[in-house]
Structure 1
Amino acid sequence: MRFINHPLWLVGFRPFFALACLAGMSLPVAWALIFSGLMPAPAATFTAVQWHAHEMFFGFGWAVLGGFLLTSTKNWVNIRGYHGPALMLLAGTWILERIGMSFGGNWPAPLPAIANNLFLGSIVAMLLWTLIRHRARDSYRDNVFFLVLLPAFLVAKYLMLYGNNFPAGYSMAIGLFRLALLVMLERTLTGFMKAAFQANILRQPKLDMPIKLLGLLLVVEFAVPRPLTAAIAFALAILLGIRFVFWKPQLACKRIDIGIMYVGYLAIVGQLLIEALGHVWQFVWIGSLSVHLFTFGAMGTVIPAMIIRISKGHTGRKVVFDRLDKLALYIMLAALVVRVVVPQIYPAGYLLWIQLSAACWLACFGILGWRYIPILFQARLDGKEH
């Protein structure tokens, strides 16, 4: 009973942000070693590239997204939320999936399939149950987007691993994470800018809703004719750019903790423009530029700031980014430059850029893990339960 009631199991962000830190430290380094030929590929039925893409989106990415949504959904609908044995089950299935993805190739059927799908299937079902059951008191009516997004992740995972259409799978995964980030940034930056600068940023339903609808359409871009996909991506980039101008970036950039989220926003705009142009003209980019502009530029910049802010605020601590917090964010900005910009200038050093960018992830999430995993294991400072 004491273990079940441990602070780690009080609310979803606690175990999953701890797991996200561990994944952020280890998964990019593992890929750099595999890509460099210094470590064998995982003993799985998937290619090394499939493993890498899956683990970054559905391992690291879903540790963060799962922790965020398990915490946010309970607040959106004003309920206690999943805790105790439910969180223990989810964390256990996440760990089982990492084992299955790396070592399940020699397991007897159907164990690999069960191990690799139990976590996502369970957490999606639990989140959907929360949103649907308590829909009447949901404080965000546009959470209907999550009712579509969450089961769509199961489709993306299937295409990535089993559907013999890996490009469609990772394209869909990017589209889903992109839309989730857009919804999250739309909601959180409004409060952050108000609290930090007493500034109101533009929130116009006639602009916000088309942005989300276009983002939803791009989730299935692999099934849409290329010219139409290019038009949708370009239109979304333009709308995001217009809104960015009215979101007072000149203020946001005065503080790294908020400014880095604006960098993530711009990375989404840049990725959309590259995608739009790529559907019309053939450009030669080094190192899957579009994919890594999103994973390093959007996910890699926004997620560390999220982990710091939520880990402090939801454990009763003052949300102030100190020198080590800021160092972690600057390291991820360096990773973005090293992985996305430098290879276009000096492609001959591509292997080195992969290794250095992986080292940046190790350093950033090593700092976050060292600082915040102990906090996630402790009770709130303000005496509240969760």
Structure 2
Amino acid sequence: MSMMTHPLWLVGFRPFFALACLAGMILPFSWALIFSGSLPAPTTSFSAIQWHAHEMFFGFGWAVLGGFLLTSTKNWVNIRGYHGAALIWLTAAWLIERLGMSFGGQWPAPLFALSNNLFLGSIIGMLLWTLLRHRNRDNYRDNAFFIVMLPAFLVAKYLILHGDHFAAGYNMAIGLFRMAFLVMLERTLTQFMKAAFQAQILRQPKLDMAIKLLGLLMVIEFALPRPLTAAIALLLAALLAVRFIFWKPQLAFKRIDIGIMYVGYLAIVAQLIIEALGQLFNQVWIGSLSVHIFTFGAMGTVIPAMLIRISKGHTGRKVVFDGLDRIALYITLLGLFVRVIAPQWFPERYPMWIHLAASCWLLTFGILGWRYIPILLQPRIDGKEH
């Protein structure tokens, strides 16, 4: 078996879900150690908090989103998809970016800029090529949202690393990931609820489109007047909450593998409400609540469940969440509690909550990495090539 034909390089989710497990273990825990002074901050030209935000969105977040989109886009337009050398290139570019983000402070500016944009520029170009070239074969008309959103990630990335625009950058990153989640949850939960409970959930095209259009507007919230941002956030939260009621949560919460995705949905609603209150009343919460209710509440809950589901289903295995899978999901819910809720009650113990929350991610993604990286390195068990 040559390197090019190794199972790891057959489909996009394989290398990038492996990297996501490693990043989910290492990056939050490294930040906890940097925050407490136990580990020196990376030698960079930007602050440690900028490093942390960038690495969670563009290191961890894009390992997941990249793996998901490389896999799903090929299915949406019915093509073979990127494999072999293309995936090796993207993986190397992702690793080079991590190197530059941690040790590139003394690098010449052009070299750092290259290291910092090689991965995202390459993968966005490749995804756009797939979506645009095969547009007439696309099963989903609303993939037009991805064509708009994907280049915007490059703007958010730039803003995060430039101190004067840091807040605009992370708000834009949240807005873009929120959009990806809104599109993905709409599609996947319809399928999951039907498969698990033979239940149809409300799909009203006008409501779904209104939600996505408002979500797209929230991507540029930093450029809008504060009262308008608050109004859009509250309207989007209200529409999502109404739809949630018709998505049969009483059934979903009977199973942790689906219920946890509903928790992620509710976290998006909560984040929008908190964002609106901040815009209207300058309400301040402990520990960047608006950011972390999204990162721990939406990303931290939905991503492990999807990682398990895709890793099993796309390697020919039956999609059943066993005991250890469910334990990993409960640990990530504990991480959400200790990072978002506990600090509001006991703010004086804030450093402890950060360490506990990071430890929850270390455990969750440690379990997932231990279980699924070996699977990602093996051929499918059903005899299919990819």
What are the within-5 Å matches in structure 2 for residues 1-386 of structure 1? 2-162=2-162, 164-386=164-386
Give the partner amino acid of 1:179. Answer: M
The C-alpha deviation readout for 1:243-282, integer Å capped at 9, x for no partner, is: 0000000000000000000000000000000111111112
Partner Cα distance (1:163, 1:251) in 2? 45
Amino acid at match of 2:8: L
Structure 2 distance, partners of 1:302, 1:128, is 24
Q: How far apart are 1:164 and its partner, in Å?
A: 3.2
Q: TM-score, normalised by structure 1?
A: 0.99
SS of match in other structure, 1:59: helix
Measured after TM superposition, the shift of residue 290 of structure 1 is: 0.5
Query: What RMSD over aligned residues (CA atoms) do the two structures have, in Å?
Result: 0.7
Give the alignment's TM-score, normalised by structure 2. Answer: 0.99
Farther off after superposition, 318-327 or 279-288: 279-288
Q: 2:304·2:329 contact (CA, 8 Å) conserved in 1?
A: yes
CA distance in 2, matches of 1:79, 1:282: 49
2-structure distance, mates of 1:92, 1:5:
17
SS of residue paired to 1:165: helix
Distance 1:277 1:100 in 2: 37
Runs of 4+ in 1 over 2 A off after TM superposition: none
The letter for the 2-side match of 1:110 is P
* 2:331 partner amino acid: I
Structure 1: 5+ residue runs without aligned partners?
none
Per-residue CA deviations over 1:132-156 (Å, capped at 9, x if unaligned) read 0000010000000000100000010
**What is the distance in 1 between the residues matched to 2:259 and 2:237?**
19
Matches of 1:246 and 1:162 in 2, distance apart? 42
Q: Compute the displacement of 1:124 (Å).
A: 0.3
Contact 2:331 2:363 in 1 (8 A): yes
For the residue of structure 2 that corresponds to 1:110, the secondary structure is: helix
**AA in 1 matched with 2:170:** Y
Aligned length: 386
Report the 3-state secondary structure (helix = DSSP H, G, I; strand = E; otherwise coil) of the residue aligned with 2:164. Answer: coil
Q: CA deviation at 1:108?
A: 2.5
Q: Which amino acid aligns with 1:64?
A: V
Separation in 1 of the partners of 2:165 and 2:116? 18
SS in 2 for 1:280: helix
SS of 2:44's equivalent in the other structure is: coil
Structure 2 residue runs without a partner (length 5+): none
Letter in 2 for 1:25: M
1:163 Cα deviation from its structure 2 partner: 7.1
CA distance in 1: counterparts of 2:109 and 2:360, whole angstroms: 38
Secondary structure, counterpart of 1:202 in structure 2: coil
2:50 alignment partner AA? Q
What amino acid maps onto 1:37 in structure 2? G
Report percent identity of matched pairs: 77
Larger deviation: 350-359 or 272-281? 272-281
SS in structure 1 at match of 2:281: coil
Whether contact under 8 Å (2:46, 2:163) holds in the other structure is no
Measured against aligned partners, the alpha-carbon deviations of 1:94-135 in whole angstroms (never above 9, x if no partner) come to 000000000001122311111111000000000000000000
Please give the alpha-carbon distance, in whole angstroms, between the structure 2 residues aligned to 1:301 and 1:108: 39
SS in 2 for 1:385: coil
